[in-house]
Amino acid sequence: MNSFVYDIPVKVYFGENQLCHLGEELAKYGKRVLLTYGGGSIKRTGLYDAILNETRKAGLEVFELAGIEPNPRIDSVRKGAQICKDEKIDVLLAVGGGSTLDATKFMAAGACVEHDAWDFLSEKWAPIEKALPIITVLTLAATGSEMDSGGVISNPETKDKIGRLAPPMLPKVSFLDPTLTYTVSPYQTACGAADMMSHILEVYFNMEQDLYMLDCFMEGLMKTIIKYAPVAMKEPDNYEARANLMWTSSWAINGFVNGGKQQAWSCHPMEHELSAIYDITHGLGLAILTPRWMEYCLDETTVSKYVQFGVNVFGIDPALEPMAIARESIKRLSNFFFNTLGLKSTFGEVGIKSEDFPVMAQKSCAGSILPGFKPLAQHDIERIFEMCNE
């Protein structure tokens, strides 16, 4: 058990009708606000008008950047950083899903430097020492971007999709109103559930001596996703389901579950290479990869973790043989992703071609070893990709 620092300083307004506090929170950071959003869902739902109503009441001057793409592009980040500089923006207000939030984080950092924002993510890895303050209004429960300091940005020119964490990009305040997720489609709800599940599994699957309390916490989060994602898909305006998913998305990745675990992630680096080339939905890629990765890593040295997972999360009979429990746990997880959530189950179905496996595998492990639950070399990752077609 390693020592750790607990420090998650994001103020969260959770629940319905909390937007009445938006104006006062923004005003703490200044008068000039850059409102960022995606392809228009916030206009269709009426949220855009509600936001402007609050900023008007608080006497704020609002500038806008619309059209942030799913798998957000570096060009959107560049535009936002430039607006911040030109208009002397005091605070950024990101309204949307993870893509809008992630792009806004890098705009806020880009506004504080002279160099190109891609330098934060390219091999230059420019330091992120400052960022303008960010406030978020979340509309999709999935990535946890509302409560973490990370973001993932795509560069179509270089076919890269790269993530980075930096404390200055942590939102100051996040508004989590589950009713704002009522309009999320069943498909995006399913992808969000798969993403949250993966965030937990990436940390949970770890052979270090851990805090038992954190494992129980993660098992509770996973059971929450398994219980409520199908409810939210069938009854989009079920408050209890949406609220449980929303708060789970934040806690799956806000750093709390890591505790003293020093665990490199495995499926996320692989998935980012799929999205980089094929622009597929992040949660869908993770759903296809995760059960195959688990299958590939299962052996006598790792089986105990699968037993714990299968028994505690899926209620598999602990009297069965460990290997049988482990295999059954992977089967149950696959069943959850592909039958309950209805996500496509193979690379072939989503158009990912085997000719790209070598380059995607090579980039996943940066030409060396992808550390994690089981260290993976390029040939291991290629094999996992092949299994995604079986």
Binding site residues, ligand NZQ, CB under 6 A? 38-41, 45, 70-71, 96-100, 102, 139-140, 142-145, 148, 150-152, 163, 180-181, 183-184, 188, 192, 195, 253, 268, 282
Among 195, 273, 328, 382, binds Zn ion (CB under 5 A): 195
By the 10 Å C-beta count (0-12 exposed, 13-18 middle, 19+ buried), 262 is classed as: exposed
By the 10 Å C-beta count (0-12 exposed, 13-18 middle, 19+ buried), 133 is classed as: buried
Residue 221: in which H helix or E strand, if any? helix 212-234
Q: Which is nearer to ligand NZQ, 289 or 325 (CB)?
A: 289
Closest distance of CB 81 from Zn ion, Å:
24
Q: Which is nearer to Zn ion, 47 or 226 (CB)?
A: 226
* DSSP symbol at 376: E
Closest distance of CB 8 from Zn ion, Å:
18
Which residues are CB-neighbours of 149 under 8 A, at least 6 positions away?
105, 165, 166, 167, 168, 169, 170
Closest distance of CB 287 from ligand NZQ, Å:
12
* Sheet bearing 134-138, strands edge to edge: 11-14, 173-176, 134-138, 91-96, 32-36, 61-65
Q: Which stretch binds Zn ion (CB under 5 A): 112-120, 171-179, 192-200, 255-263?
A: 192-200
Partner touching 371 among Zn ion, ligand NZQ, none, CB below 5 to 8 Å by kind? none
Closest distance of CB 96 from ligand NZQ, Å:
5
3-state DSSP helix/strand/coil % of the chain, to nearest 5:
55, 10, 35
Q: Please give the Cα distance from 236 to 179 (Å, whole number).
A: 9
The site that binds Zn ion (CB under 5 A) totals a number of residues, namely 1
* Number of separate helices (H) and strands (E) present in the chain: 15, 10
Q: Which is nearer to ligand NZQ, 150 or 310 (CB)?
A: 150
Q: Which is nearer to ligand NZQ, 36 or 334 (CB)?
A: 36
Partner touching 225 among ligand NZQ, Zn ion, none, CB below 5 to 8 Å by kind? none
Closest distance of CB 298 from Zn ion, Å:
22
